[in-house]
């Protein structure tokens, strides 16, 4: 019986790649990559010559059964995403579930992920928090925001640069202008920054200075 490894990759700084991750990727029979072009640069940097295959949200439903059979036949497969830990707002859940259902061992390596440093850097309570990933774009967005308005734990969201203003505006509308917010951008990269303030203040900042790069929003929970 083979095995599935979920291998985190750096979210920016290549020095965050662990020695174990490099070894696993070199020893695996196959690497599943969200984007082989992006991952190809990473593998080349670390001199990893293992065969790669695309595994992303548009094909994972079709490929899971075949990959399970390969692991049942004894192959070791490593799954990586473009950046961070697989299955955290990235492909990986379907294959992991299929392995669990078929008694194939799954090993998720610890490593880079964007929301943990953003949460810690925020200065907001992190003893209890809820990770929301990306908010619904259209259907269900309003309903979700109304529910989250009553959430007392710190909330963590992923967002793209061109939708940040919309999301911050929604937080002002549904959570209140004074709700504490922290936005971390380009974590581990050259232009990394964290902007903290009220929802209204942070919205004003990014309205005047349009953001670029990968973004994590941390929002304080409703006061009890």
CATH number at residue 183: 3.30.950.10
Domains identified in the chain, total number: 2
Neighbours of 123 (CB within 10 A): 13
Averaged over successive runs of 10 residues, the pLDDT of the chain (224 residues) comes to 97 96 98 95 97 89 94 98 93 95 98 96 97 92 96 98 97 98 96 97 97 96 91
Q: Is residue 149 part of a domain?
A: yes
Which pair of structure tokens corresponds to residue 174?
């549904």
pLDDT score recorded for residue 72: 98
Domain boundary among 71, 93, 108: 108
Which residue in this structure is represented by tokens 């979210």?
Answer: 11
**Using CA atoms, how far apart are residues 69 and 194, in angstroms rounded to an integer?**
45
> How many CA atoms are closer than 13 Å to the CA of 69, on its beta-carbon side?
4
pLDDT score recorded for residue 58: 83
Work out whether strand 154-159 and strand 129-133 pair parallel, antiparallel, or are unpaired.
parallel
pLDDT score recorded for residue 125: 97
Same-domain status, 96 and 28: yes
Same-domain status, 98 and 26: yes
End-to-end CA distance of the chain: 51
What is the CATH classification number for the domain harbouring 49? 3.40.1010.10
**What residues does 193 pair with on adjacent strands?**
185
**1: exposed, middle or buried (Cβ count in 10 Å: 0-12, 13-18, 19+):** exposed
Domain coverage including residue 55 = 3-108
The model's pTM is 0.92
Same-domain status, 145 and 55: no
Which pair of structure tokens corresponds to residue 216?
């994590």
Same-domain status, 14 and 104: yes
pLDDT score recorded for residue 148: 98
Same-domain status, 128 and 196: yes
Task: Output phi, psi for 153, to 5 deg.
Answer: -85, 160
Domain boundary among 78, 93, 108: 108
Domain boundary among 84, 108, 132: 108
């Amino acid at each position: 019986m083979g095995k599935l490894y979920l291998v985190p990759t750096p979210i920016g700084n290549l020095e965050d790649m662990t020695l174990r991750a490099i070894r696993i990727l070199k020893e695996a029979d196959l690497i599943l990559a969200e984007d082989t072009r992006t991952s190809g640069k990473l593998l080349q940097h670390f001199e990893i010559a293992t065969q790669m295959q695309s595994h992303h949200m548009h094909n994972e439903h079709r490929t899971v059964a075949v990959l399970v059979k390969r692991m049942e036949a004894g192959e070791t497969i490593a799954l990586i995403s473009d950046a961070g830990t697989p299955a955290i707002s990235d492909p990986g859940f379907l294959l992991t579930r299929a392995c669990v259902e078929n008694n194939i061992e799954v090993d998720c390596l610890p490593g880079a992920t964007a929301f943990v440093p953003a949460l810690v850097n925020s200065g907001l309570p992190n003893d209890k928090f809820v990770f929301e990933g990306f908010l619904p774009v259209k259907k269900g967005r309003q309903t979700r925001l109304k529910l989250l308005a009553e959430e007392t734990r710190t909330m963590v969201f992923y967002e793209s640069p061109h939708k940040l203003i919309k999301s911050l505006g929604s937080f002002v509308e549904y959570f209140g202008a004074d709700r504490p917010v922290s936005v971390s951008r380009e974590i581990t990269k050259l232009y990394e920054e964290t902007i903290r303030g009220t929802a209204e203040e942070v919205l004003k900042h990014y309205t005047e200075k349009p953001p670029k790069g990968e973004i994590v929003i941390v929002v304080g929970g409703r006061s009890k």
